[in-house]
Structure 1
Amino acid sequence: MLLTARSAKLSSSEWRTEMRRKADYTWNLAELMARNSMHNSTDLAPHLVNRGIDLSPAQIWRLVTQRPERLSLPLLAALCDIFNCSPAELISVHSEDASTIRKAVNEVANLRSTPGKARPRRARVLRDDVE
């Protein structure tokens, strides 16, 4: 069911203000590796191969040193099996209230109050009159 301003019976000022939550996560693979005496990304490769996960050395290095945006469930299950942990120990999720977002409806934005978001003035190029 689509919620509209009329069906919710909100005033216009209540309708424009929304509270958002910002969710983020921490990738804890490097810490789990250190706890299990694996200090190089190459130490993880044989354990992954034993569980049917075939990744290149570059992919394993990125998996250890960077925060992945996408992760396959077989890889997650293999990592949990290697370190005898749950997905919650591998990925720490935390969220917080973001600032209240106010939508500008039929209003002209005041760009002077928000420095850095204003666009620069267009430059005018004038010719030098050479005599």
Structure 2
Amino acid sequence: MTAILGVVPWTILGLILAVSVSRSVTLLSFGEEMAIGLGGRLSRIRLRAGLAVLILAGSAVAVAGPVGFVGLVVPHITRRIVGIDYRLVVPFSALLGALLVLVADMVARTVSPPFEIPLGAVTALVGVPFFLYLANRKEVRG
């Protein structure tokens, strides 16, 4: 409980920063030239987005530990569901990531009672195939 209370201010700060930069990150998804043409300052956008990612990832790992591929899988799935607008991707990624970890935890606790499978192993069962799919897809496009 102490770990959670210590991380709450950082998580709130990270979420505020992520939501505030989400519109600018959406501009970046259209390409650098388009973002510059629409008034985006690339270095400032990248700095703020990177800072938000660092704060939120650090907060998540501090409380939950490394749960593997959640951070890789969830944003890609979320973009398929809600589109490329990061004003929607950011909050829905948070919800979908929490849901994925919750379901993985339930699976880890119920697959072989009375023993528990490590949560990282269960998330890896989802993440590794998805990561391989992404890696192969990038190769084909390149």
Give the TM-score band, short-chain normalised: under 0.3
Higher relative contact order (CA 8 A, sep 6+): 1
**If each structure's strand is expressed as a fraction of its own residues, which one has the higher value?**
1
- TM-score, structure 2 as length reference: 0.22
Find the structure with the greater CA-based Rg.
Answer: 1
Task: Choose between structure 1 and 2: higher helix proportion.
Answer: 2
